[in-house]
Amino acid sequence: MTSERHPDPLSELSRAAAEFLGPIADVLVQHLAAQSTSFVKLREAVARQIDDPGSRERFRENTLPLVKTGSLPAEAAKAAQPAAAPTAAQATGLARNDPHLLRELTEELGQVLGHDAARIVREQAAGCANRVQLFLKLAKLVPTLDMRRGLEARALEDYRSRLK
């Protein structure tokens, strides 16, 4: 089969990342692909998610062949173009639709972010269309690995529940 000889570069990147990041890798690669303007930048953004420097370097070595053949799909490249700023209605959509989630996240993140947690959660929610995006954005901001992994796990769980 042709697809076996020429696998999808994003799938291959996700598979390589899963070795170091676990099952969240697929969701993370898709999320970062929507923000990346090139496959090289996407690969580096994924590499930065790997905490251990040795593992990060192994990921880069393992995915180097993909750089030669990899490119972002047209949909991801289009999504990577700067979007218009959200309107007031769009920016508050997540907060309006799920205020309980924002309060819960503020309490959890308050343990590590202090009194800025409410502002940070509100600001991050303003640019998110759904819970998965919010969990992934917040995961990038928390200083502890355990909390980051917890938010990434919640993103994966929420993403999987949408597929059912």
Q: What is the pLDDT of residue 10?
A: 85
Own/partner pairs, 15-23, CB within 8 angstroms, 24+ separation: 16/59, 16/62, 16/63, 16/66, 17/46, 17/49, 17/50, 17/59, 19/59, 19/62, 20/50, 20/52, 20/55, 20/56, 20/58, 20/59, 21/49, 21/50, 23/156
> Are 63 and 116 contained in the same domain?
no
Rounded percentage of the chain residues whose pLDDT exceeds 90: 15
> Are 6 and 49 contained in the same domain?
yes
> Are 97 and 40 contained in the same domain?
no
pLDDT higher than 70, residue 89:
no
Q: What is the pLDDT of residue 35?
A: 83
Global confidence as pTM: 0.47
Among 55, 80, 105, identify where a domain stops.
Answer: 80
Domain that holds residue 76: 2-80
> Are 102 and 118 contained in the same domain?
yes
Give the tens place of pLDDT for each residue, 126-145: 878 788 889 998 988 888 88
Give the tens place of pLDDT for each residue, 19-53: 998 888 888 888 888 888 888 888 888 998 888 88
Q: Which amino acid is at 48?
A: R
Q: Minimal CA–CA distance to 87: which of 118, 124, 127, 125? A: 127
Burial of 71 (0-12, 13-18, 19+ CB in 10 A): middle
Instruction: Report the number of distinct structural domains present in the chain.
Output: 2
